[in-house]
């Protein structure tokens, strides 16, 4: 009867844009201000940041695939 429709694929790009926009301060701090730093919190902070961004990107795609 009624077919379920997905959201437009550009919704994923909009969500990715919001993710990047929301993490600008962290990027600026970890990669610009602390560029040459060898401190452990900076190294682990960068690692956690990359993991968070990867998981968030996968989550955005999966949310788009599973929602109608």
Give the mean pLDDT of the chain.
Answer: 89
In the numeric block, which tokens belong to residue 67?
A: 């929602």
Q: How confident is the model at residue 1 (pLDDT cuts 50, 70, 90)?
A: low
pLDDT of residue 38 exceeding 90: no
Rounded CA-CA distance 23/26 in Å is 5
Residue 14, pLDDT score:
95
What is the value of pTM for the model shown?
Answer: 0.79
Give, in order, the Cα–Cα distances in Å from 50 to each of 10, 25, 68: 23, 14, 29
Residue 54 has pLDDT above 90, yes or no: yes
């Amino acid at each position: 009867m009624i077919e379920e429709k997905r959201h437009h694929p550009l919704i994923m790009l909009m969500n990715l844009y919001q993710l990047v926009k929301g993490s600008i301060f962290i990027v600026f701090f970890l990669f610009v201000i602390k560029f040459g730093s060898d401190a452990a919190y900076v190294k682990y902070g960068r690692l956690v940041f990359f993991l968070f961004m990867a998981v968030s990107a996968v989550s955005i795609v999966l949310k788009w695939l599973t929602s109608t």
